[in-house]
Structure 1
C-alpha cells in the first residue's frame, strides 16, 4: 500500500462523502464524539440516514450524529434507541434477532446482543490505528510501519463504510484508505485483512458482499477485489471504469454487479474476467442497491430515483424524484424502503401487499 498522504476524493454519496464526512472530521478532532452518547431528538426520522437492517421483526436504521432508530412497522414510524457515540454511523447489520453490529466514522464499531436495545463500543479509530501499527511492527515491514504510524498520528478520523456479518460473533468491516478488519469473537479481538487485499494505493473501500464462498469488495477509483475462498485470499479485478463504485452486489448465480459515480454500472458473468455495461438513462451517482427475495436488483441514485435492473438495463420505477438517496432495503412486506438525506421513504413497487 503506497503512501496514505496521497490525495483521496470523497465523492458525493448523498452527503455521506461530502457533508457528513466534513462534519465528523471536526468532531473527531476533539475525539470525545467517540465516547459522547447521541443526543435524544424528535428529528431523527428526518435526518440523514445511511444504513438499515432487520433484527427479526424490528427494523433498524442508522445515520448522522450517532443516530440509531427502530421501527416496528417497516419504517413508517421510528423510535430512537440510545447510542453510545455521536459520530455518524454508516451501516448496520444483524445475524439474527439478537446479535448485530453498527459501524461509522472515527473507526467506530458498535455491537448489540439484545436485539438493538443497547449498544456497546467494540472498536474506535485510536485503538484500531494502534493495533495496526503493532501488527506492522510485528511483521517487520518498514513500509507498513510508516503507513500505520501515519494512521496513529492522524487521529481517529477514518470512517468505515460497509460491513459483512457472517455470524453472531463474526463480522468484517471495510472503509477509508483501504481499512479492512475482521473479528470472530464478537469484537473482543480484531485481525486485519489489509494484507490479503492488493490495494497498494489505499483506495477507500465502499462495499463488501458475500455469496457462498465468493466475497466481492468494491471502492474508490474503480477498485474491485474478489475472493473465491471465503476471504482467505483476494484477486484484484481489472476494472471496467476508473471512477469510484459506491455499491456492489453478488447474485446467487455469482454474477458481479458494481455501480457508482455518474451512474456508471457494470455486470460480470464470469467472475470479473469481462464486464458488460449496464445501460442507465440517469447520469447521477448510484448510491445504494438491494436484491429482493425474488432476485430483482434495485438501485438508488443521488438524483432521488429508484431504478430496477432488467436485461442489463436500468429503468426508473418512481416518477417523482425523492431527496438524494443513500440506501435501499427490501421490507418484510416485499416493498422497498429508501433512505435519504431527509429520512426514510417507503416505496411501493407494485407487486406486494
Structure 2
C-alpha cells in the first residue's frame, strides 16, 4: 500500500511540474509576443499623437494604438478593434477621445485610450454621404458622391477635430466630411455644404479663436464656415499647391503648411507668407506653450519660429522624419513618424 501511495504521489508531482512548465512556457510565449508587438509598434510608422490627461496616446499603421503614462519613456499597446492604419487622434477631454484612419474608420474611447470601439466605417460613411444629398445639389458634387458610394469603403480619413466629447468633425479624401453631435452614435455628411465641386482632398480641420471652422487641403484649398449652419465657403488661397495641415493659434488666426516649405499665417487682412529655411514639404506642426511654432519637414529637420510666429530657423537636433508632434514639458516634445516614437529636446535658444 505504501508503494502505491508513493507511486501516486510521484505521478501527481510529475503532473504538477508538467503543468507548471506548460504555464511558464505559455506565459513566456505571451510575454515574448507582447514585447515583439511593442517593438514593432514603437519602431514602425506612427502618424499622430495626442494627450489624454496625464497619458500620451499615439496611433499608426496596422491599427496600432500606443499608450504612455510616463511622458513617453515607456509604451504599451492598447487593444485595437482594427488592423489597418490610423492617421489621426484627438482628445477633447482627459478620457474621451477619437481616432480616424483608413477604410473610413472612426474609433472612440471613454477611458483615456485603454479600450476602443468603432463608431463609423467606410461603407456606412459612403451610404450616408449618398443618402443625405439634397435633391437640388450641384450635379458635380452629386457625381463625386455617387462615385465614392460605388467605390465602397476604402476611402481614408486624414484628420478629426472635436470641441466637446459629443461634437466633432472628421475629414478625408475626395472632400469627405462628417459631423457628429452625439458622440458618434449618428453622423451627418457635410460634403454638400463645402464649395468643393471637384472633390479635392481635405487634410486638416480645426476651429479658430473667432469661432469659425477652417479646412485646408489639396491644391491650396481653404474653406471656412463662419456660422453654425456649417456652410463652408471656398476662400482665396495664398498658394496653389497642397496644404497638408494647419494649427489654430492661441491668440487667434492659424498657420497652414504644405508642399515645398510653404507656410502661411492667417492675419486680419489675409495670409502672410512665412520665412522658412527649407523647400522640403512640411508634414506637421504644433504651437508650443510659449507660443512659438514648431514645424517638422519631410527632410527630417525641425524648424522653430521666432517670437512673431512666422520667421523660422532650424532647430539644432538630429534629423528625424516626423508625422506628429506633442509637447510634454517646457523643454521636450514627442515626435512620431517613420521610425516610431522619439523624445526630442526643444530647449529655448537665446
TM-score, structure 2 length as denominator? Answer: 0.84
Q: Supply the distance in 2 between the matched residues of 1:302 and 1:73 (Cα, whole angstroms).
A: 28
CA drift at 1:232: 2.6
Q: Choose the corresponding residue for 1:169, options 161, 166, 170.
A: 166
Output aligned runs, 1:128-139, within 5 Å: 128-136=125-133, 139=135
Output aligned runs, 1:1-353, within 5 Å: 40-136=37-133, 139=135, 141=137, 143=139, 144-212=141-209, 213-229=211-227, 232-270=230-268, 273-310=269-306, 311=308, 312-322=310-320, 324-332=321-329, 334-351=331-348
Aligned partner of residue 153 in structure 1, secondary structure: helix
Q: Supply the distance in 1 between the matched residues of 2:312 and 2:116 (Cα, whole angstroms).
A: 38
Do 1:215 and 1:230's aligned partners in 2 also have CA atoms closer than 8 Å? no
Q: Supply the distance in 2 between the matched residues of 1:249 and 1:141 (Cα, whole angstroms).
A: 31
State the Cα RMSD in Å. Answer: 1.9
CA drift at 1:231: 6.5
Look at both structures and tell me which one has the larger radius of gyration over its CA atoms.
2
Instruction: Map Cα deviations across residues 152-198 of structure 1 (whole Å, 9 max, x no partner).
Output: 22121111111111111112111111111110111111012222221
Instruction: Map Cα deviations across residues 305-333 of structure 1 (whole Å, 9 max, x no partner).
Output: 111122422111134212x2111111145
Do 2:193 and 2:232's aligned partners in 1 also have CA atoms closer than 8 Å? yes
CA drift at 1:41: 4.7
Do 2:216 and 2:223's aligned partners in 1 also have CA atoms closer than 8 Å? yes
Do 2:302 and 2:317's aligned partners in 1 also have CA atoms closer than 8 Å? no
- 1:207 to 1:152, Cα distance in 2 relative to 1, 3 A: same
Higher helix share: 2
Corresponding residue for residue 7 of structure 2: none
Instruction: Map Cα deviations across residues 198-227 of structure 1 (whole Å, 9 max, x no partner).
Output: 112111111112233122211111001123
Do 1:303 and 1:325's aligned partners in 2 also have CA atoms closer than 8 Å? no
CA drift at 1:334: 4.9
Do 2:144 and 2:199's aligned partners in 1 also have CA atoms closer than 8 Å? no
Do 2:128 and 2:189's aligned partners in 1 also have CA atoms closer than 8 Å? no
Q: Supply the distance in 2 between the matched residues of 1:176 and 1:231 (Cα, whole angstroms).
A: 22
- Count of equivalent residues: 310
TM-score, structure 1 length as denominator? Answer: 0.83
